[in-house]
Structure 1
């Protein structure tokens, strides 16, 4: 998959997780879906910040503006993910936070798929999109699995912080028995 196809695949997976949350038969199942949602959206946001937005900055005529807009959307999502991550299982605020997260994620997906991705498709060679897709797929294995809204979101500081955050996240995930994907 090229980078755009891979990102769209991630979007569809997150949309399915929101449906799974509403279909869950128990609080335990809902919490499991929340854990997966936190993990997948955290990885997705980190990869966009490390690899996609820097490309947009360079390749698009208004790339800096577009990347900054999407970083703002990512921040709103990361704040909600952090709030969900801190909630104990069965907390009454869970449903409201998931609804807010869904709205933010849907707006982010809509903006990316109608504006950013078509612009990247137009201004970036297919070979480069293919290579970025390969790199994104590889990087998923080592991306942070928890939200880090206070971490740097621009290279080069992001390039240093993200692997450290990922290692810490994966250790926490194992110690807490969180699901892995």
Structure 2
């Protein structure tokens, strides 16, 4: 059982960042001379969220299924929530670019659906991270956190709810969709921000000693000289 919260912290950090991007995307007011500014925020939210979802599929689902007790049910529930969120994200993308199938929906209705799907997905993702943390050791958790960040860099930037998510077919689909998404992002001039680096672990006592950089617990009183 892991004693480090590096994976949980990475997930929480990303969830907070995506929630901030969602709040920015909802404020779509843009200057008259720069009407695309609002859409840039939507593109940033969609691409960042999609990349994270694809990265979790690529990195965390296999160890969850194999190493976590009742991991099959855990992954099944997570994938159901992921697909629902990806469908909603695809709905946002279509609404943004004026699909004829979207004329009966207003932006507030679209964003309300995103809020519900995001809340449900973040709850399932938090459970996934907690269960993995409780089942793997510290070195394995460190590797997973690093792989999760690396996977986001090379993940598709659009939701693909109906492509395979797991196994060999999932890996192949992500590579194909990554190349296709890069092509269309360039063609459309979409903004695709890079994921923020994962939070670093606090250095241990030995590391603090060698770095001559002692860290004191904020809740503990600072020792007097």
The TM-score normalised by the length of structure 1 is 0.90
Please name the residue that 1:111 is paired with: 124
Q: Structure 1 residue 21 and structure 2 residue 25: aligned?
A: yes
The one of 139, 146, 149 equivalent to 2:161 is: 149
What's the offset of the Cα at 1:82? 1.0
Structure 2: which 5+ runs fail to align?
Answer: 194-225
Report the structure, 1 or 2, having the larger helix content: 1
Deviation at residue 24 of structure 1 after TM alignment: 4.2
**1:20-99 to 2 correspondence within 5 Å?**
20-26=24-30, 28-89=36-97, 93-99=106-112
What's the CA shift for 1:95?
Answer: 2.8
Secondary structure (helix, strand or coil) at the match of 1:163 reads: helix
Q: Secondary structure at the match of 1:70?
A: helix
Q: TM-score, normalised by structure 2?
A: 0.74
Task: Please point out which of 163, 176, 179 is paired with 2:188.
Answer: 176
Question: How many Å apart are 1:7 and its aligned residue?
Answer: 2.0
Report if the CA contact (8 A) 2:48-2:192 is conserved: no
Task: Rate the CA distance shift 1:47–1:11 in 2: closer, same or farther, 3 A.
Answer: same
Q: 1:88 to 1:117 in 2, by over 3 A?
A: closer
Whole-Å Cα distance in 1 between the matches of residues 149 and 65 of structure 2?
Answer: 21
> Whose Rg is larger?
2
Query: CA-atom RMSD, angstroms?
Result: 1.9
Distance 1:28 1:89 in 2: 11
User: Which runs of no fewer than 5 residues in structure 1 stay unpaired?
Assistant: none
Distance 1:24 1:83, change over 3 A: closer
